[in-house]
Structure 1
């Protein structure tokens, strides 16, 4: 009772101190800058309505689609992952669904700090010159805030789902898209928000949700390294989508960021948010982290991304190279035009020399230097058109110029430094998203359940198997740099051919650690629970013999797996002793070393003595002892679990 009262008091104190701290700083700020006016200049009533709509949408998916309203900490997850293009429900819900409460809160905290910055940079009010608010539905601030911004966010989320690698789930891809968009316009603000403010927000939330937390030292189940549980490819995909959208939008608006600030924000954000963690997995709980490669990629892309936003529009290629590219075509027509000195107007219009507004004497055998006042020699003007600015040489069109080879050369010659850098970012985005396509065309065969026995729940097949090929990863056979996609897995496996689902939610090691684990399957409007149990006896000096059961809620447990027998390193009066699992029970098998004869006896469920092969056994709690000629040794012990 006292602890509950103290917790309630602490919750109140946390709320009061946070509000008081903000208010005190507000009073101390004498800069004269009214933040309400600053926010209202770009947001309706100074409120990021689009962000609030998006957060409510994501929260609704968790509560009512994943059934988080029934179990806040354990929602239905499996049917809402992005399994395959042929399973639209998963592809559409995955970017807005979450694995658990911690996953949800972390992503919502990131959205709360990044989305308002992105929404502010975009603005509810039209920024084009000569346009007014409410002049059309697209310029209506309320529609931009409550409809256009949320729909754009949903579209980005679906894109991250369709081009993410693996059966992803979570809003983090969109959060990184917010970051990529905001960092182009407000680099330092975005960096601080997502590396500091997000952590502070989560700490305050946890302090209110659980003001007193008691932890005890205990063993942890086997688990992959933290970096192997993060969808780095999905995060990078979302970030680059947001970055490219912002680079185009703010370029059109004529808004540019400080290059030094942008580069600092990009590189520090990438390191802080682990975008450098490029990894792969080999199966059997082995993972490979390419740390050096990740650092090289991040530092290089930070420079290229900065150039894509703030670099100049000067041509990338030197003038001499551009001259050779632009004056060369399959028939050499452009070169002949330059050499013959055809008037520029005729080149631009595609007509004859007589169409030129230049004095006719220049085309009638007269003095070619006689030109209209203010004009240069015709040949010089043509060279300016061909070799000069982008706008000028874009106007030159001839039949030969329209050919594929000449068009490519012209485009190459006209590429600016900024366009080249931006194109490089687009290529990287394509390289990141492209490999997801073959993985997402995954189709599960009807007879894909690898276990000998299974439980079926509304189309879901739940079983247990060991050392079987992971069908989702091995669907595309790729080998590179000593790594490949032929990965084996062991544990509880859930498959559903109708939904193209193949998942191993509980590994064999994790089940051996805990002894039991519950898997939730379902769909919109329903959920079912299946619990996996493991029971075993460990042979002294040897390994553990075990069996697996699956139990659907409200039904009897079903035996689905039996391990190999395990022999002890104990010999009693010339006999070997082996622990034998069979048909849901456990036996001790006594084998005579000389003649190979065997005799078995079932391990009783209660303490007591039993005999086999001339050996007397005694069960004492979780231990079994064998006794021969007053020699008593332990031969087996019941497997213990951490729950």
Structure 2
């Protein structure tokens, strides 16, 4: 779409919302503006603006998103281990791509101002304390609280994590306890904001159906990290209510808790079985959400009557919320102190301490870092694809899956650190013999191309002129094998080669074996869908 078309749509969208806001403003007089000024310095949520600005700067500058918008530098800014401070310092504010970034920013744009509104820039009572200054509360305290919360979620989330979602969930939990209905409405508003953001970014969308390699939408959701942030926000909200001696309506809080927890997919408890099988424990997740909603309701609303010894009902309910939070943190410590057992292949491309290689059926160290078997599941799972390892940074990640290469034939891996980055291009080429592929995977860096992987030979079904024929992939290319002996390279387009008295002809994307007057297709060159970036 031409740039001026996009600009026209932006102007139309701005005029529509501005006009709508002006009409409502006239109908509502100045009451809402007065309410905002009573809570915010000059009526503006400065802390939220600054916090979201930090996230955007990290993406554009630190992750080089301004230059590589679609493929920011994400690997060095993930929280791989306590032994890699750069990761856990930046992980909560970095993102893997524009979709991830915009999803968290739009959610935060709705929830962060509500959380800041609950705190307020003005103290509830007259005081001369330094933190009573609304400018300090707006420009220092709230942003500092957000930054600290981000580092907290990075430190105590299990395994590698990246993204602002833990903080976003903390905002949701904090707002929920004080204003349950507002939290529910905010989640509906989040969907509306995403729709508007999508209209700004892509005013007109043209979509073509293509092959998909996407796992289920819930695979990869950092449920434990989301729960960690959410519980931290809820407990902070409960503490604030007690400090201000406020007690919310129990029924509203219970209904709001159920709706918010379900809308935020806190029920999506999942696991992975091997290469391409995923398990979702939906019913168990919903049961846990119901229990969580009950505890959230009881913590700020239960009576102060003694229940166990000197412990009141409200104290016990709050403790039951603290226990899972502390438990998750205690589990995170040994997990995040583990080190990477790097075993890159001999064909790995090494740059700046990183080893990039292709492997199949290798141990997935994102799950098998600790060997556990329970409830029919195991952490001993494998994976296939392009893997990045860095022992110094305790990095181990599968960056391009085997399925992605099968579908698109190419991929990109970006590695680096503060102030430096390198790009490694991945390409797959192959043939399909019957239903089975024989293929090679290349890694290219700085103009140097390396064959990172060659699959096993694939035999042609039946025989040709009494000979067993197979296709072989190796470092030199693709070859024709007869009776277990490599005889000739696969010919180029429009060319032919003779091996063992059989003529092999390549026309377009097919390889034929010619025996007298008979020509048989023995293999077809792999074809790939356009990449996501092209689409």
TM-score by length of 1: 0.80
Following superposition, the deviation at residue 433 of structure 1 comes to 3.3
Secondary structure of residue in 2 paired with 1:213: coil
Give the corresponding residue for 1:145. 138
Mapped to 2, the partners of 1:414 and 1:157 lie a distance apart of 36
Give the corresponding residue for 2:162. 169
Following superposition, the deviation at residue 472 of structure 1 comes to 3.5
1:63 equivalent to 2:56? Answer: no
Q: Show the 5 A alignment for 1:624-639.
A: 624-639=511-526
Instruction: Specify every segment of 5 or more residues in structure 2 that has no aligned partner in the other structure, as ranges.
Output: 531-535
Secondary structure of residue in 2 paired with 1:461: strand
Q: Show the 5 A alignment for 1:407-426.
A: 412-426=308-322
1:546 equivalent to 2:439? Answer: yes
Give the corresponding residue for 2:245. 254
Mapped to 1, the partners of 2:91 and 2:400 lie a distance apart of 20
Give the corresponding residue for 1:192. 185
Match of 1:208 among 171, 176, 200: 200
Give the corresponding residue for 1:430. 326
CA contact (8 A) 1:277 1:290 kept: yes
Give the corresponding residue for 2:468. 576
Mapped to 1, the partners of 2:6 and 2:62 lie a distance apart of 32
Give the corresponding residue for 2:287. 296
Secondary structure of residue in 2 paired with 1:202: helix
Match of 1:101 among 90, 98, 106: 98
Deviations 1:413-451 (A, max 9, x none): 111111111111111222333332222112124xx1332
Mapped to 2, the partners of 1:43 and 1:270 lie a distance apart of 28
Match of 1:241 among 232, 247, 253: 232
Give the corresponding residue for 1:589. 481
Secondary structure of residue in 2 paired with 1:494: strand
1:619 equivalent to 2:515? Answer: no
Give the corresponding residue for 1:16. 15
Q: Show the 5 A alignment for 1:179-578.
A: 179-194=172-187, 196-220=188-212, 222-316=213-307, 412-445=308-341, 448-539=342-433, 541-552=434-445, 554-578=446-470
Give the corresponding residue for 2:533. none
**Distance verdict in 2 for CA 1:240–1:627, change over 3 Å:** same
Mapped to 2, the partners of 1:449 and 1:237 lie a distance apart of 32
Following superposition, the deviation at residue 629 of structure 1 comes to 3.0
CA contact (8 A) 2:491 2:505 kept: no
Mapped to 2, the partners of 1:530 and 1:267 lie a distance apart of 45
Following superposition, the deviation at residue 142 of structure 1 comes to 0.8
Instruction: Specify every segment of 5 or more residues in structure 1 that has no aligned partner in the other structure, as ranges.
Output: 317-411, 592-596
Query: What is the root-mean-square deviation in Å for CA atoms of aligned residues?
Result: 1.5
Secondary structure of residue in 1 paired with 2:306: coil
Mapped to 2, the partners of 1:61 and 1:598 lie a distance apart of 56
TM-score by length of 2: 0.96
Deviations 1:32-59 (A, max 9, x none): 6611111111211111111111011111
Give the corresponding residue for 1:607. 494
Mapped to 2, the partners of 1:511 and 1:457 lie a distance apart of 22
Deviations 1:368-392 (A, max 9, x none): xxxxxxxxxxxxxxxxxxxxxxxxx
Mapped to 1, the partners of 2:144 and 2:7 lie a distance apart of 40
Deviations 1:320-375 (A, max 9, x none): xxxxxxxxxxxxxxxxxxxxxxxxxxxxxxxxxxxxxxxxxxxxxxxxxxxxxxxx
Mapped to 2, the partners of 1:599 and 1:529 lie a distance apart of 36
CA contact (8 A) 2:184 2:256 kept: yes
Mapped to 1, the partners of 2:66 and 2:474 lie a distance apart of 42
Secondary structure of residue in 2 paired with 1:312: coil
CA contact (8 A) 1:278 1:290 kept: yes
Structure number with bigger Rg: 1
Following superposition, the deviation at residue 618 of structure 1 comes to 0.9
Deviations 1:519-562 (A, max 9, x none): 001111111100111111111x241111111101x322111211
Deviations 1:472-513 (A, max 9, x none): 421211111111211211110101111110111111111111
Following superposition, the deviation at residue 256 of structure 1 comes to 1.8
Following superposition, the deviation at residue 109 of structure 1 comes to 1.0
Secondary structure of residue in 2 paired with 1:435: helix
Mapped to 2, the partners of 1:608 and 1:125 lie a distance apart of 81
CA contact (8 A) 1:48 1:116 kept: yes
How many pairs align?
530
Deviations 1:567-615 (A, max 9, x none): 1114212112100112231111122xxxxx7452111223122111221
CA contact (8 A) 2:359 2:384 kept: yes
Following superposition, the deviation at residue 209 of structure 1 comes to 2.2
